[in-house]
Amino acid sequence: MSDDEETYSTIFTALRHPIRRRILRMLATEPMTFTAMLNRLGIESPHLTYHLESLGVLTAKTESGQYRLSTFGGAAVATMGWVEEAPKTEPQPTPVPTMWKAVVVVLVIGVAAFAGAYYQQSQALSGLHTAYDGLYAEYTGLSADWDHLRADYDALLDELLAERLKTLDELQSQPFAPRSVLFRRYSRRSNV
């Protein structure tokens, strides 16, 4: 592997862990001692040693024993800034093909036509139901009238029959009238 590739691997490996990214940001503002970093990060000494060793060529030690960013470390911090400051883009909606738009339009028109036909049929059915109710009420009234007329007819028939029987009894009770006269009288009277 070439030196450039090894440097890139070191940079990207260093940027993978959040503690190493925090160390790089702290050193980007000012050089720091091991103890100052330890206090600010709040981790144990062996962990800080491990992370500083993982940073490799990204950090350097000054003559006073402080850690600072190397040229590659500055590039790594700049890379972090570019990634963190990259504009957030919203995913663009996928355009719907024209064919699907046409299908949706046809479906909407079909549903509207079906709804209109259904409404028209329900209105016609409602009208028929109302007419049926009216005819049924008229039939019920006529049936009741028929029952009254039938009762009146039966009563009149009974009256007429009783009257004729009474007349026949009266005629038969007269001793002087011959039988043929009785029938003539009765038949004359019934024809009147």
Please count the structural domains in the chain. Answer: 1
CATH number at residue 46: 1.10.10.10
pLDDT at 137 over 90: yes
- On whether residue 50 sits in a domain, the answer given is yes
- Work out the pLDDT band at 89, boundaries 50, 70, 90: confident
What are the tens digits of pLDDT across the range 105-132? Answer: 889 999 999 999 999 999 999 999 999 9
- On whether residue 29 sits in a domain, the answer given is yes
- On whether residue 39 sits in a domain, the answer given is yes
CA distances 90 to 80, 82, 87, 95, Å, are: 21, 18, 10, 15
User: Residue 192's pLDDT is what?
Assistant: 47
- On whether residue 140 sits in a domain, the answer given is no
User: Residue 6's pLDDT is what?
Assistant: 75
- 48 touches 41 (CB < 8 A): yes
Vertex 37: Cα angle to 31 and 41 (nearest 5): 140
- On whether residue 59 sits in a domain, the answer given is yes
pLDDT at 138 over 70: yes
Output the average pLDDT for the chain: 83
The type of residue at 33 is T
Domain span at 76: 3-84
- On whether residue 161 sits in a domain, the answer given is no
- Work out the pLDDT band at 33, boundaries 50, 70, 90: very high
Q: Given the structure tokens 């004359």, which residue do they identify?
A: 188
- On whether residue 42 sits in a domain, the answer given is yes
- Work out the pLDDT band at 20, boundaries 50, 70, 90: confident
User: Residue 183's pLDDT is what?
Assistant: 57
- On whether residue 149 sits in a domain, the answer given is no
User: Residue 133's pLDDT is what?
Assistant: 92
User: Residue 1's pLDDT is what?
Assistant: 59
- Work out the pLDDT band at 85, boundaries 50, 70, 90: low
pLDDT at 17 over 60: yes
pLDDT at 136 over 90: yes
Q: Given the structure tokens 């919203």, which residue do they identify?
A: 90
